[in-house]
Structure 1
Amino acid sequence: MAKRDYYDVLGLQKGAAADEIKKAYRSKAKELHPDRNSDNPKAEDQFKEVNEAYEVLKDAEKKAAYDRFGHAAFEGGMGQRPGGGGAGGQGDFASAFSDVFDDLFGDFMGGRQPGGRQRATRGADLRYNMRITLEEAYSGLQKSIKVPTAVTCTKCEGSGAEGGGEPTTCPTCAGMGKVRAQQGFFTVERTCPTCSGMGQIIKNPCSVCHGQGRVERDRALSVNIPAGVETGTRIRLGGEGEAGMRGGPSGDLYIFIEVAKHDIFEREGNNLFCRVPVSMATAALSGDIEVPTIDGGRSRVKIPEGSQSGRQMRLRSKGMPALRGGGHGDMFIEMAVETPVNLTGRQKELLREFEDLSEENNPESEGFFRSVKNFWDSMKG
């Protein structure tokens, strides 16, 4: 039986545009899909006929041949694409079905552009680890860094071709970036070995970038680090990553902050903790001490009489600034009552005398040893 005209199969006028062909195919494929026409024994043949027609008319070269010669253009193997089947075999059914999937989902998945030409490749994102001091994290800073990256080649302006010429369509895959091989009923699709999936080749590569459209170079950047950052803070610089391939958009640069450990202050969120040694006499009798603050200033703190090690006192708003505004955290002074060492004979004598007079001045010791005595008594029982 003679084949029907491909335009009639899709319900189109001869010479229809590519978008009309695609739209008609989607409609027909949905209407005649065998899964939706289980009661129609002819549905599968009609569905294959629609796919065969679309396989030819969607391709500019095949469509031009068909418009001129009709079905005769594909008799005896004419019109076959590298790595694909003829215009009526099993390869065309799988190919057309794959192509409509690409048409429907290609934009979402980052696939091919209309006409089979692949999009320029976006550059890779880069990571830069930056170590700063706690003081720098408190005040914020502007810092110059050098990032090894791929930048757009200035000689070819990112095209990859000598003299800024345009790449040409890959003859192996016809610009698809992929080749298909028939294995029985199945069609296997692989990345084109000639163009490495780009869909284009450069006949006269740039002498500087060798056809890549970009070159490796250290890039100097000035980075603003806001006040209040902490270890793990990530700063994104859009478009400052690697340059894209063949004029594609650049990736992003991510700066990961690490705040170095401080000799005096320990940070927890926006609060700071400072452990301050206090003499035994000051802790017992009260007194004033001077403590540093992260902004480089000083604060006087009164030690209450009878203070013990571990006691904390708060200095409000003397901590770290909030990263996105909202004031400052607090600073906590933690006392460490210090036992004197290297005592003179006279000091030892005074301490022994003090010890003899201090039987009722150590409530914590009394409470502890009372608990110990009760424990031992219970063990004996």
Structure 2
Amino acid sequence: MSTKDYLEKDYYKVLGVPKSASADEIKKAYRKLARENHPDANQGSPEKEAKFKEISEAYDVLSDAKRRKEYDEARTLFGSGVGGARPGGGGGFPFDFGDLFGGSNQQGSTSDRIGDLFGGIFNRGGSGGGGSRTTGGATRARRGQDIESEVTLSFTEAVQGTTVSLRLTSSQGCAACSGTGAKAGTTPRVCPTCEGTGAASRNLGNFAFSEPCRDCKGRGLLVDDPCPVCEGSGRAKSTRTIQARIPAGVDDGKRVKLKAKGAPGENGGPAGDLYILTHVKPHPVFGRNADNLTITVPVTFTEAALGAEIKVPTLKGMPVTVRIAPGTRNGQVQRVRGRGVARKDGTKGDLLVTFEVVVPKHLDDKARELLTEFREATAGDDPRAELIEKARSE
């Protein structure tokens, strides 16, 4: 994709959110669109697959605070026709965007700074595999494609971390032609149009944009006798199974990034990344609040009134003893330290225990008699008196 295409792409519009959208709003919009357009749910629909890639590309930029800032700055500088800056209100600057990204030998030059700005957003150049030229007309390295996958985890697996098997389908170098695209026994030739760089300059009036060469489609090579397996593309579909480690503490809807686990690169370029969208099943007993686990524990009226020591279950561990203070109210929360979700620094969140006072449904004669005596003994304590007084004062 050319620099001009990147600048003119409105990632906010792709996700259907305003430029002022918060990180949560962007995440919510992405999750909704990803589910609607995921290839697994729309098999045989190239339109949905293309839309899914576009959505993922937009989310990759806007979900990262640094890349989003750089993207916004880039569109502010060059987004509106790429000709906003004019000295003294005169005509625009005729320059080649290829110069901006091609790298200058001058220390700290404007070209370097602008190249760094766009490189951070679109992974162009350098180790990002965006396509730095090599000497002698050799083809440029290409970074492999990013791959998106999904996995459903149990509540316990999400909290404690787990390793899952994923079957991935991606594009990689064709084995029949070793990625050259040429039929066995033949070799490709350097593209005379771009001289093997894979890039060409297109003039747009006062400006020129560097974009992939149309003759060789950015490869820098031309194939006269194409490989019958990959039809000259040098790429072929490959299916592989990998073991992916899901870190402890992952939440529902979280995207886990595994660096260099995506599609292999081309011409020595680095592999792409693997993004795993996680879905977490609910637990019948425990809930979650950020790094804390939650649980609701029933207690009897006498335990709440008189105080007691009770056993409370923990996630995949031995029960802990919790002290109920006398006069504990229904819905009161008590914290058990270090029994929650593991954090990146090695510490753990807490277990938040909510007490739910249970009223007995059936009473025998003895229990009824004792409760009647209790009611008579506490008849002077009206818990609603203050409430009624406040209602009258308004």
TM-score range normalised by the length of the shorter chain:
0.5 to 0.7
Is the aligned partner of 1:263 residue 2:284?
yes
Q: Which residue of 2 aligns with 1:372?
A: 388
Q: Which residue of 2 aligns with 1:67?
A: none
Using the alignment, how far apart are the partners of 2:200 and 2:330 within structure 1?
Answer: 76
Identity of aligned residues (%): 34
**DSSP-derived class of the 2:389 partner:** helix
Q: Which residue of 2 aligns with 1:55?
A: none
Q: Which residue of 2 aligns with 1:224?
A: 245
Q: Which amino acid aligns with 1:144?
A: S
Q: Which residue of 1 aligns with 2:330?
A: 309
Cα deviation, 1:14-66, whole Å, max 9, x if unaligned, reads xxxxxxxxxxxxxxxxxxxxxxxxxxxxxxxxxxxxxxxxxxxxxxxxxxxxx
Q: Which residue of 1 aligns with 2:171?
A: 150
Unaligned runs of 5+ in 2: 1-93, 105-110, 116-124
Q: State the TM-score, normalized to the length of structure 2.
A: 0.59
Query: Quick one: structure 1 residues 269 and 180, their matched pair in 2 at CA, closer, same or farther if it must change by over 3 Å?
Result: closer
Q: Which amino acid aligns with 2:176?
A: K
Cα deviation, 1:67-107, whole Å, max 9, x if unaligned, reads xxxxxxxxxxxxxxxxxxxxxxxxxxxx9978766463686
Q: Which amino acid aligns with 1:330?
A: D
**Aligned-pair CA distance for 1:190:** 6.6
Work out which of the residue numbers 337, 350, 357 in structure 2 matches 1:337.
357
Query: Quick one: structure 1 residues 238 and 161, their matched pair in 2 at CA, closer, same or farther if it must change by over 3 Å?
Result: farther
Query: Quick one: structure 1 residues 192 and 97, their matched pair in 2 at CA, closer, same or farther if it must change by over 3 Å?
Result: closer
Q: Which residue of 1 aligns with 2:306?
A: 285
Q: Which residue of 2 aligns with 1:214?
A: 235
**Aligned-pair CA distance for 1:144:** 1.6
Q: Which residue of 2 aligns with 1:199?
A: 220
**Aligned-pair CA distance for 1:140:** 2.9
**Aligned-pair CA distance for 1:251:** 1.1
**DSSP-derived class of the 1:162 partner:** coil
**Aligned-pair CA distance for 1:292:** 0.9
Q: Which amino acid aligns with 2:379?
A: E
Contact map agreement 2:334 2:353 (CA 8 A) in 1: yes
Contact map agreement 1:157 1:164 (CA 8 A) in 2: no
Q: Which residue of 2 aligns with 1:12?
A: none
Cα deviation, 1:254-295, whole Å, max 9, x if unaligned, reads 334444332222222332221111122322233343221112
Cα deviation, 1:143-191, whole Å, max 9, x if unaligned, reads 2211222233222222222227542122455445456688999878775
Q: Which residue of 1 aligns with 2:61?
A: none
Q: Which residue of 2 aligns with 1:162?
A: 183
Contact map agreement 1:214 1:243 (CA 8 A) in 2: no
Q: Which residue of 2 aligns with 1:134?
A: 155
Mark the structure with the bigger radius of gyration: 1
Is the aligned partner of 1:243 residue 2:264?
yes
Aligned length: 280
**Aligned-pair CA distance for 1:308:** 0.9
**Aligned-pair CA distance for 1:311:** 2.0
Q: State the TM-score, normalized to the length of structure 1.
A: 0.60
Question: What pairs up with 1:109-120 in 2 under 5 angstroms?
Answer: 110=131, 112-115=133-136, 118-120=139-141
Q: Which amino acid aligns with 1:260?
A: K
Contact map agreement 2:95 2:208 (CA 8 A) in 1: no
